[in-house]
Amino acid sequence: MKILIFSIYFLANILSCHSIQRPIFKLAKANPMAATTQAIEMPTYIASLTKKFSAKRNYASGLPEREDAARYLYSREEDYKVLFCMKEPYHKDLPLRTCWKREIVQVFQKAELSPFDLKGVKRLGGLANQNFKLIFSDRSDYLLKIPYDVQLDLEISRMNEAKNIRVLQDMKVMPDVLYMDPDTGMQIRKFLDGSPIEDFSTEDIKGAAYAVRNLHSSKYRFVNDVCMFKRVLSYQNFLEQNHSLNVQLKEFILFASAIHARVEQLSTLRRVPCHNDLEFANMLRVGKQIKILDWEFCGNGSGEYDLAHFIYYDRLSKEQELYFLNCYFNGTPPENILKSLPWYKYLAQLVVTVRMQYLLLRDPSESSRKVVEPLYFSGMEGCAKLKSELSSTLLKV
C-alpha cells in the first residue's frame, strides 16, 4: 500500500512539472555546482531567449542550446545566481525588489549583450543602487546598475536621468552607456577602471576641484532645473501628510526657510550643471584624473551647493577647504562664496536628514533601519550644530 501511494505521488510530481514546462534545477548551498534539495525555478522566458541568442550565434559555445545553455548559466558562480535568479538580496542591509529577472534580461537584449557571453560577474555594492561588474572574454567590461526598490528622492525622474546621460556624454564626463531603461532606471555602461579615493591627498583634492569646475563651466545644460531647498519642502509635505515629521526637524526646516531667499541673492553660480551629491565616495581616480560617478540627482542649480556638499561630507579641514576653493576658482574665492558656503553646508545636511526620515517611513524594516537610522541621528546632530554656527554669523536671522 505504501509503495502504491509513493508511486502515485511520484507520478503526479512528474506530470505537474511537465504541465508547467519549467525546468527545476537543484543548486548547492556549499557548492553552486552540486545538487541539493533547494530547487530554483528557471523562468520560461530565459529558456526561450537562449533559442533567440543561439539563432544569432553560438553564445554558449561548446554547450547544447536552449534549456541546457540556461542550465549552464544558472549553475555558475554565486553572483550569477543572485543576478539572474534573484533568490538572495543584493545588499544584506537594504531591501531590493525580487521581480527584476525579466527586466535584467531585457536590458541585456537592448544593449545587444548576451548573459551567456559572460566570463564573470562581480558585485560592487552601493547605497542607492546595486552595481555589477560584467566581465566578458571577448570585449570590454561593463557595469550593470540596478536601483534599489525604495525611491531615494521624491523628485528623481528616470526619464530625465536617461536624457541627462546624453548630456553627460556630450560633456565627456561619463563612460559610454549602451542602454538605460527610463522606467526602471537599470543601465549598462562601459566599466570605468580606476581606484577609489581614500587618502584625500592634495593631488586628489586638486583633481576634484578641476572636475567640478569643468562641470560647472560647461556650455551644456541638463534637461531639468533643481532647487535643493524645494526638495526639502517636498519631503516636508510628504512627511506632514503622513504625520511623521519630527518636531525638531521641522524647526530646522523653518530656520532654513527664513534665510533661504537672502542667501540665494549671494549666489554667483546660478543655474549651472550640478551633481548635487558630490563627495569622494562618488569619484574615481583614473590615471591622473578624477572622474565623477552616480548622476541620479543631477540638474541645473546652484554651484555653491556642490562645493559645500563636497567640503562638508568629506570633512575637509580648513586648510583643505581653502585649497579646494583656490583650485576651483584658480585663485582667491569671491567673498560672496565664502559668506554663502556655511548656509549651503547646512542645506546639504538638511537634505540628507529629511531624506533619511522619509526612508524610515517608506521602509520601516529592521534591515533598512540598521542602515538609515545612524545616518538620520547623525544628521539631526549635524543640523543642530550647523544651525548654531549659522545663527552667530552674518547670516543670522
Q: pLDDT tens for residues 256-270?
A: 998 887 787 777 778
> What pLDDT, on the 0 to 100 scale, is given for residue 375?
92
> What pLDDT, on the 0 to 100 scale, is given for residue 117?
78
pTM of the model: 0.75
> What pLDDT, on the 0 to 100 scale, is given for residue 130?
79
For the chain, state the CA radius of gyration. 25
Is residue 107 scored above 60 in pLDDT?
A: yes
Output the CA torsion sign for 384, 390, 396, 397: negative
Domains of the chain and any CATH numbers: 20-153 (no CATH), 202-391 (3.90.1200.10)
